[in-house]
Amino acid sequence: MRDVDPLETEDDSGQTDQTSGPYSAGTSYDDADTEPDSLALEQLKRRGLLPTGLCYDSRMKMHMNAEFSNNAHHPEDPRRIHEIFEAFKRAGLIYQGPPELAARVFKEMPTRYMWRIPARFALDEEICLAHTPAHLSWVKETENMSLAELRELTKRYDSTRESLYVGSLSCYAATLSAGGAVDTCKNVVAGNVKNAFAVIRPPGHHAEMDQPMGFCFFNNVPVAVRTCQKEYPETCRKVLILDWDVHHGNGIQNIFYDDPNVLYISLHVYMDGSFYPGRPENDEIPDGGIEHCGVGAGLGTNVNIGWHAQGMGDGEYMAAFQKIVMPIAQEFNPDFVVISAGFDAADGDELGACFVTPACYAHMTHMLMSLANGRLAVCLEGGYNLDAISNSAVAVARTLMGEPPPQMTIAKLNKEAARVLNKVQVYQSHYWQCMRPGVVDMALAQSNRSQRLHDFVRNAQKDVLMMKHHMVPLYIQREKLHRTFENQVLVTPTIETASKVLIVIHDPPELLSQPDYGDHTRLELHNSFIVDGVTSYIDWARKEGFGVMDINVPNCAERTDASAHMPPQIASLMEWLWDNYIELYDADHIFLLGVGNAYLGVKMLLINRREYTVACRERISGVVNFVNGNLRPVKSQTDDGLSPWYKQNSQVYVAADHNCWLDPSLTQKIEKRRFGTVVRSKESGLTRMMDAHAEDVQRWIQDRVSEEEESGDTTAESA
């Protein structure tokens, strides 16, 4: 027999009779002492002793797939809210004692348990504050559809970007979900509770003004926010919506895109627009890219923190909060804060494939509680692993109730994620004072009075290599490549006749600098140093009679590009170099040396075309890579022999602090053949790694040359 919540009793019809306030339990009491007077209530508010609210109604589980199967056949499972509610009970967050004592318990211990906020159906006029009347009518029409019509509708929507299933009671549950969000937020704004958690479904943040989408019918949070702004214009003028669902809340963004009084901040996986919800068919509708900052009066009140990949965890989310979310939120100074709380970025959720822990959710909640005098409402969005969503929700609820967030160990920040945060800062610096420190005025920097340091350093390298080894630039005779790789590919004289060739594909040199203490956008030249581990390998190769091709891969595609990412032309460059030069060389021994993120070029050369995989295996004697970023597999769908060949003919040195060594499951994966022969370095920085392993690499290359010559596979080395 299940435990009975004394603050929720069900009659035979399944309807609920819930409390009407924090000091009553749906039961009348003759003892006047069980009800506090108005002065006592004001004292409780002043002292912050109001309870945390909880909105939950089992009727929201009635939304299910038209197939009406007992099996879990869809991620948006009715059990999602049930498991959270049961987890709250197990954690002791909900009063389960005798009903007749409930009022006294809430009076004497107002913060010990969560106060139940009844869910009710949203009014049409409330829904139409965020949606068109036509959309409301469409949702209502589903109630009258036949089972066959619902199945057909579900089949059609579930195979498109809308990604939606529709049942006969979907409208019923969606209207209840929106109404629950409204009353949850209203109770917080009105001061009846200090904060609140709405455990509601179906979710809402994908629903557009005029259409459903992504498991969502009505966009619960905008409906609630607009209602609160309408009914409490003096105390709820400016609202912050923080969306930490792993998917971008396109619906919330678009509803408030031109609203200066609603600041929408979303942390989500973006993956260059390929992760759901992806890019709209209409190019004029913004997606979750970080460049979309609002429009008109709302310019600057839309902040997208779109991760470059899945796999983000506590380190990335805490860094986002500390560097972007909280500074902007504090400058905005909201009257009310709402969390669109999807828990599909939680560790264990297969759809999100991220690693945010319950402790991290607690810390993020705690930081947001410092805003708006603590007026904070949490509205459930996504999250599809029942254990992950329950544990995360409990951590958030405990924090709302006043427990300090648990101690946590924060993993190292992913370098690409750090670049994403820096780019967000650059975009938002136009609108927020707090984002400007450390951001360069790019208009001035890109004027005729300046020169990009990358180009300056590369020109200096070119001059040195020309003087020491007579190396000259290789002209890239392809229009789309020439501008990016001008002066980036250098070769030694007569490389085409050398019997041994070393092709180095590397990141630009590292820049170490002590910033100016008064202005972090300025570097002191006498305290700035270029650290380059590649030149010593070129010096050694030339001494040993190798011809050398040096390929410097810039971090941006154009000189006027302020971003920091691998240029997309790297694959085209490697194809062009192979077809026009490398494949035509007389060399008996060709070695590839990849350094940093640029070793992507090695992978591209090996796998891009089937004829390359065979040709490379015949011509290339060995591959050496130094990796401190993404560890990339080398495998081919059409050539099963590539991965074994790569394992046998490679040395892949991976930084000591690389994430693959921190997770045992990842460590096991690197033992697979497709990653090559992986060696854990004792060093972390690229230059330190290259220095530490220089003798090993040089010996390995020389041994392979000697073995091939002794076996008679090659001709003698030519001068």
Q: Write out the two tokens for 622.
A: 């060995």
CA–CA distance, 419 with 227 (Å, rounded to integer): 38
Strands (E), 176-261: 195-198, 239-243
Q: Write out the two tokens for 154.
A: 């579900």
* Active-site hit among 206, 589, 658, 693: 206
Nearest to 320 by CA among 290, 342, 347: 290
- Cβ(491)–Cβ(474) under 8 Å? yes
- Cβ(591)–Cβ(702) under 8 Å? no
Burial class (CB in 10 A: 0-12, 13-18, 19+), 538: buried
- Cβ(315)–Cβ(279) under 8 Å? no
Nearest to 390 by CA among 110, 174, 77, 121: 77
Q: Write out the two tokens for 669.
A: 């994966």
Q: Write out the two tokens for 676.
A: 């090559």
Strands (E), 423-552: 472-473, 489-491, 500-506, 510-515, 523-531, 547-552
Beta bridge partners of 548: 502
Interior/surface letters 281-305, b for 16+ CB within 10 angstroms, e for the rest: eeeeebbbebebbbeeebebbbbbb
Residue type (1 letter), 387: D
CB within 8 A of 685, min separation 6: which ones?
A: 510, 531, 628, 655
DSSP summary character for residue 422: H
Helix, strand and coil percent figures for the chain, each rounded to 5: 40, 15, 45
H/E segment holding residue 695: helix 694-710
Tell me the pairing of strands 195-198 and 239-243: unpaired
CA–CA distance, 6 with 104 (Å, rounded to integer): 13
| 129 phi and psi angles, rounded to 5 deg | -70, -20
The residue behind tokens 């959710």 is 361
Does 363 qualify as catalytic in the annotation?
Answer: no
CA–CA distance, 118 with 21 (Å, rounded to integer): 10
Tell me the pairing of strands 195-198 and 523-531: unpaired
CA–CA distance, 431 with 300 (Å, rounded to integer): 5
Q: For the beta carbon of residue 641, count every other beta carbon within 10 angstroms.
A: 11
- Cβ(508)–Cβ(552) under 8 Å? yes
Determine the straight-line distance between the first and last CA of the chain, rounded to whole angstroms.
Answer: 89
Angle at 389 between CA 387 and CA 394, to 5 degrees: 95
CA–CA distance, 587 with 362 (Å, rounded to integer): 60
Strands (E), 103-162: 115-117
Interior/surface letters 174-206, b for 16+ CB within 10 angstroms, e for the rest: bbbbbbbbbbbbbbbbeebbbbbbbbbbbbbbb
Active site positions, annotated: 206
